[in-house]
């Protein structure tokens, strides 16, 4: 019998060496509390598993004995802010540092250890704020798999288990919760779904050879539970326009939410179910041999002045963000268009060889070219420096990026139109969170009018070009989701690097 046990142990070790050990980190936000956290700790102790607890300062102060137990039993304690305030509400560095340092001081007084990891409430943290917390000594630690157990009214025990089984991957950082951030037991029902699901989750992970470790053993990823983060974005006052597809894709919704008339090509496209940002995304069809916006893709201007709920319709600087996925088998051929910012008025007409003259608007769509390379396709007025606006059919600006089929990409674009009749306009582009373009000497207008200001974006996507060699050789599809126009950079709410191909 002893030989059999030794043989099994040897074979297990051999498999790990040959195929590689799989790791995962369980993380619990909003701890500690007197009801959930002890039960979670009991289950983890019974299975000899270590996890990471991201704690709130106000609860650390209330339950120091539970913080001591978390530490004494070998778990990692991370910083989750003082009271779960959305960090977008903090307008100065003092507020940020005051918040995280308060939590750190409380934990240190109990455990003798400083926090090394910070998980921002709702996953919201600006680039500047991230630099501040890094200088303070904290690493941003997000998650790659959410059980969505925060939705206490809709997510059941089985939903939690299914989300693990469906989305599990090596080096997963799993998000669960110890208690709702409010700590109000009367307002929120007991989170029995998490407690009831946890034993089966632990069993599943063990049976599938995952070694459960604390988050410091896995490189924390930028990302997050896309649905909860996207919902939170709709509440921000720096968001001018949010265009998703959760409510459907039909004439009335289109006119109400996007401010535009129904497009005949829209009938050729569809809303499909997925679990990316929410539950639905727009799937655009590019039929075999189609050419131009009348035969392939989808094209319409998103004009802010058509939206009755907006106070301002024209801006001198704005950010555009959206997600796009080219499905497997997409035929890039010679190229085609993707959405980008545009000037006011009928600026979308500044395309198709119709050059801007400094008085009638501009467009900055994106474009894929052969083999999936991405460029900015610029129709802008001629600049005095001779660098921009010289091309009749638009000017390509290399993004140093190649589209990967079957994978979501995050596209971000920033424009500051600068001063009329001067070459001081700014264009910036980020792809999947990495800055790819930064230009500060473009010209967007020669005279001050609303054509020169940003008036929306041009949802323009089709194959072309205007010659037969641009036509796709097979039916091709691209998915779109999460369109945002904002006064500040939003960035990714999903780590596209962790998105599985489907």
- Which residues participate in catalysis according to the annotation? 29, 177
Is residue 157 within 8 A of residue 190, CB to CB? The reply is no
* Residue tagged 């157990």 (tokens): 149
Residues in contact with 337: Cβ distance below 8 Å, sequence separation at least 6, in sequence order: 297, 299, 365, 366, 367, 377, 460, 461, 462, 464
CA distance 194 to 431: 36
CA distance 93 to 219: 26
CA distance 133 to 417: 32
Tokens of 106: 């409380």
* Residue tagged 């919704």 (tokens): 253
Q: Residue 37 gets which letter from DSSP?
A: H
Q: What is the CA radius of gyration of the chain?
A: 25
Quickly count: other Cβ atoms within 10 Å of residue 422's Cβ: 14
Is residue 469 within 8 A of residue 199, CB to CB? The reply is no
Tokens of 369: 């070219």
């Amino acid at each position: 019998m002893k030989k059999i046990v030794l043989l099994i142990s040897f074979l297990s070790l051999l498999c790990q060496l040959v195929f590689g050990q799989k790791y995962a980190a369980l993380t619990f936000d909003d701890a500690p509390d007197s009801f959930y956290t002890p039960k979670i700790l009991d289950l983890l102790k019974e299975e000899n598993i270590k996890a990471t607890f991201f704690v709130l300062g106000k609860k650390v102060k209330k339950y120091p004995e539970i913080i001591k137990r978390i530490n004494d039993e070998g778990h990692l304690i991370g910083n989750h802010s003082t009271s779960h305030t959305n960090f977008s509400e903090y307008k100065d560095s003092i507020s940020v540092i005051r918040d995280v340092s308060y939590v750190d001081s409380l934990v240190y007084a109990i455990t003798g250890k400083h926090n090394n990891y910070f998980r921002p409430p709702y996953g919201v943290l600006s680039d500047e704020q991230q630099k501040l917390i890094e200088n303070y000594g904290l690493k941003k630690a997000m998650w790659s798999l959410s059980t969505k157990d925060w939705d206490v009214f809709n997510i059941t025990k089985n939903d939690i288990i299914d989300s693990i089984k469906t989305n599990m991957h090596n080096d997963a950082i799993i998000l669960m919760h110890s208690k709702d951030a409010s700590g109000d037991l009367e307002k929120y029902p007991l989170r029995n779904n998490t407690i009831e699901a946890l034993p089966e989750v632990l069993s599943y992970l063990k049976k599938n050879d995952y070694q459960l470790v604390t988050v410091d053993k896995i490189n924390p990823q930028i990302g997050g539970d896309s649905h909860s983060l996207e919902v939170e974005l709709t509440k921000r006052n720096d968001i001018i326009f949010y265009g998703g597809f959760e409510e459907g894709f039909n004439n009335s919704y289109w006119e109400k939410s996007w401010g535009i008339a129904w497009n005949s090509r829209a009938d050729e496209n569809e809303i499909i179910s997925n679990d990316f940002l929410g539950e639905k995304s727009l799937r655009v069809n590019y039929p075999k041999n189609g050419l131009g916006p009348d035969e392939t893709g989808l094209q319409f201007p998103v004009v802010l002045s058509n939206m009755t709920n907006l106070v301002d319709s024209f801006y001198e600087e704005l950010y555009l963000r959206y997600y796009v996925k080219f499905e497997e088998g997409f035929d890039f051929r010679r190229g085609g268009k993707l959405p980008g910012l545009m000037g006011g008025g009928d600026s979308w007409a500044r395309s198709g060889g119709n050059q801007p003259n400094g008085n009638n608007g501009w467009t900055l769509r994106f474009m894929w070219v052969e083999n999936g390379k991405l460029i900015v396709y610029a129709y802008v007025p001629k600049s005095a420096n001779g660098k921009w606006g010289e091309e009749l059919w638009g000017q390509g600006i290399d993004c140093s990026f190649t589209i990967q089929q079957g994978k979501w990409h995050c596209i971000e674009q920033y424009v500051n139109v600068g001063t009329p009749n001067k070459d001081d306009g700014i264009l910036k582009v980020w792809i999947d969170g990495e800055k790819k373009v930064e230009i500060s000497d473009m010209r967007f207008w020669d005279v001050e009018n609303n054509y020169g200001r940003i008036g929306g974006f041009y949802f323009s996507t089709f194959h072309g070009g205007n010659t037969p060699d641009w036509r796709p050789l097979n039916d091709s599809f691209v998915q779109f989701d999460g369109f945002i126009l904002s006064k500040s950079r939003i960035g990714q709410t999903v780590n596209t690097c962790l998105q599985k191909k489907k």
